[in-house]
Structure 1
Amino acid sequence: MTHGFSFADSYHAAIDLMNNLLSAQSAIMGYQDVFHLIIYFTLPLFFLIFFIKTKQTKDKRVTL
């Protein structure tokens, strides 16, 4: 109201500003939750890589 806006205009601007801030924080928290889920599922799988057996292949060398 100090910048020449009416009470209604400044009220709606403040509500819009708070809504935008709340939406941004909600999105950040959502991304953080998904990131944690991805970490919780992939970290145990990473350690299982060491238990994978590789297939033994015959060494076929070409001699000239």
Structure 2
Amino acid sequence: MVTSIQARKRQRYHVTIKGNGEVKHVVVIANSPEQMKRLVSKLYNHIIIDDNGVTSGVISFEVTELL
């Protein structure tokens, strides 16, 4: 029996976060877009959610391969 282990291919995400009058540009290394969005939401929630608790921010990103 042959067992092969495939390494997950991580990607670089160039992320722009806009909200609450702020614009942030960050680079996130993640395995998937879902993981990237989780990290961005966790770290930049204060920009994405306004003072009333309403989601008002915008997250846009561009994906590039890691070398």
Q: TM-score, normalised by structure 2?
A: 0.25
Higher relative contact order (CA 8 A, sep 6+): 2
Q: TM-score, normalised by structure 1?
A: 0.26
Give the number of the structure whose residues are more often strand, by fraction: 2
Give the number of the structure whose residues are more often helix, by fraction: 1
